[in-house]
Amino acid sequence: MSEEVVLLDFWPSPFGMRVRIALAEKGIQYEYQEEDLRNKSDLLLKMNPIHKKIPVLIHRGKPVCESLIQVQYIDEVWHDKSPLIPSDPYQRANARFWADFVDKKIYEIGTKIWTTKGEEQAAAKKEFIESLKLLEGELGDKPYFGGDNLGYVDVALLPFYSWFYAYEKCGNFTIEEECPKLIAWAKRCLQKESVAKSLPDQEKVYGFVLQLKKAFGIE
């Protein structure tokens, strides 16, 4: 079965992590291929000619691109185990809304935190915390965004937790102080094997960010 599913990925990518978590939740065996983004493989360029980005999920030779589309695809094909998206249309729309919110806010604002300084960074930190607080509101008292089990929004958001340490170090602030419920949620998720094995060590991610900053001449 392992040749049936291939994942072209890059270890620090939160988008790749989403797919790793989804595949692990479903217990799917797959071949993981690490891409060098400065020297993209022919396979990557052939499988994602439009955007030329990772992650790319290849199932029986056919590519699926874009992480949220990949997670939905995995959920639909392997629908019998660990469903990620609810079955009720309104709850599905709600789950998609919050996954879209993560896409619109967390990645871009997080990137601003480690790539900028001064006022721009301060504004990004403020908006970042506000966005996390809105997510805390959506989580409410539930153990996971998906309720009693990991769901679509959990999978969409969790990978960014491995980048929080990098944001905190670069931004000189503590996320847990402002958003304790969200950090508690993330730690709860990390107790699951599917999550723990899909997320890289946060110190390793921070080391990567420092390399990037050096390479791009960002202080």
Residues found near its own copies in the complex (CB under 8 A): 50, 59, 62, 64-66, 69-70, 72-73, 76-77, 89-90, 92-93, 96-97, 100-101, 134
What's the closest the beta carbon of residue 210 comes to its own copies, in angstroms?
30
Neighbour-count burial for 202-213, b at 16+ CB within 10 Å, e otherwise: beebbebbeeee
CB closer to its own copies, 37 vs 134: 134
Residue with tokens 């691109």: 65
What's the closest the beta carbon of residue 16 comes to its own copies, in angstroms?
17
Cβ pair 22, 74 in contact under 8 A: yes
CB closer to its own copies, 54 vs 65: 65
What's the closest the beta carbon of residue 85 comes to its own copies, in angstroms?
11
β-pair type (5-9, 31-34): parallel
CB closer to its own copies, 97 vs 187: 97
Between CA 75 and CA 57, with CA 89 as vertex, the angle to 5 degrees is 20
β-pair type (5-9, 56-59): antiparallel
What's the closest the beta carbon of residue 196 comes to its own copies, in angstroms?
27
What's the closest the beta carbon of residue 96 comes to its own copies, in angstroms?
5
CB closer to its own copies, 92 vs 213: 92
CB closer to its own copies, 94 vs 202: 94
